[in-house]
Amino acid sequence: MKKLPLIALCLLLSALDAPAQSQPPTPPRAPGAEAAGFTWNRMTADRRQALDAKGDQERGKVAFEPCRGCHLKDAAGRPDGSYPRLAGQHASVLIKQMADIRAGDRDNWKMSPFVDKHVLTPQDMADIAVFVQGLPVPAKHGIGPGTNPQRGQDLYERDCARCHGKEGMGSAAEFFPRLQGQHFRYLLREAIAIRDGGRRNSNPDMIQAIRGYTDADLEAVNDYISRIVRR
């Protein structure tokens, strides 16, 4: 019988002894907007520590490395809506979303392993947030079809501008995200999720504001948002 090389024998024995491949860990799931009494901006310990920490851009640049595979090196995201543009987003909003995912308030199975408490500390979150916030906003991003601009503007000014601002800049203090410069397809995808209950960490005021929107309404208003130019 022909003898196996030692390294091949070791690999074979290791394979025989190895347990069956385990499934990826199930992301946490906490009661969200579907639960009575849910507070969309509740202050978890992780969020408070990250918000109180002084973020360091250089450390954040290093900590952001694993994120580049999806969000790209300049945090520009993808026009197809699969990943949002993060560059220029308020650090407080970025921290809230990371904290919500790790707490189970927001369901995001792709991102959950990257923000787990065993991977990122609150200081890491603060570092990443301040680094990403400081990145230049790309000049181009995905925009909508432009088929119903007046309807989109009317809806935005009626229901959205009071929180997100006339130019879509949001509010860092209120955790309202900057929308200006975001990809249309991402905006539309998340708006549908908010309306239909899929984004469970949503502000109840926004859920209420767009509850009666048709798909055409959502397309029109997010088309308008995707075309807002900061003056």
Q: How far, in Å, CA of 43 to CA of 27, rounded?
A: 20
Question: For residue 16, what pLDDT is reported?
Answer: 43
Task: Over range 17-45, report the average pLDDT.
Answer: 78
Task: Kindly state the average pLDDT of the residues 37-46.
Answer: 92
Q: What are phi and psi of 176, to 5 degrees?
A: -85, 120
The size of the chain, in residues, is 231
DSSP state for residue 212 in the 8-state scheme: T
Work out the average pLDDT over 182-205.
Answer: 97
Q: What's residue 15's pLDDT?
A: 41
How far is Cα 12 from Cα 170, in angstroms, rounded to an integer? Answer: 57
Nearest Cα neighbor of 138 from 179, 172, 182, 190 is 182
Q: What is the mean pLDDT of residues 66-79?
A: 96
- What would the two tokens of residue 36 be? 């009575």
Give residue 231's pLDDT: 74
Which segments of 111-183 does DSSP mark as H helices, in order? Answer: 112-115, 122-133, 149-155, 161-164
Residue 85: closest CA among 143, 129, 161, 137: 137
**Arithmetic mean of pLDDT, 111-119:** 95
Confidence (pLDDT) at 27 = 83
Tokens of 73: 């090196």
> Average model confidence (pLDDT) for the chain?
91
Domain 45-133 CATH superfamily: Cytochrome c-like domain (1.10.760.10)
Domain 149-226 sits in CATH at 1.10.760.10
With a cut of 80, say whether residue 23 has pLDDT above it. Answer: no
pTM of the model: 0.88
Residue 48 pLDDT exceeds 60: yes
Instruction: Give the model's confidence band at 180: pLDDT under 50 very low, under 70 low, under 90 confident, else very high.
Output: very high
pLDDT on residue 18: 43
Give the mean pLDDT of 65-93: 97
What does the pLDDT average to over 188-203?
Answer: 97
Q: What is the DSSP string of 35-64?
A: STT--TT---HHHHHHHHS---HHHHHHHT
The rounded distance, in Å, linking the Cα atoms of 202 and 23 is 29
Higher pLDDT, 13 or 221: 221
Work out the average pLDDT over 82-104.
Answer: 97
CB 77 within 8 A of CB 84: yes
| Residues of the chain above pLDDT 70, percent | 90
Give span(s): CATH 1.10.760.10, the chain: 45-133, 149-226
Q: What is the mean pLDDT of residues 5-18?
A: 43
pLDDT score for 22: 52
Tokens 């024995």 sit at which residue?
A: 13
pLDDT of residue 24: 60
Amino acid type, 223: D
Over the stretch 150-172, which tens digit does the pLDDT of each residue have?
999 999 999 999 999 999 999 99
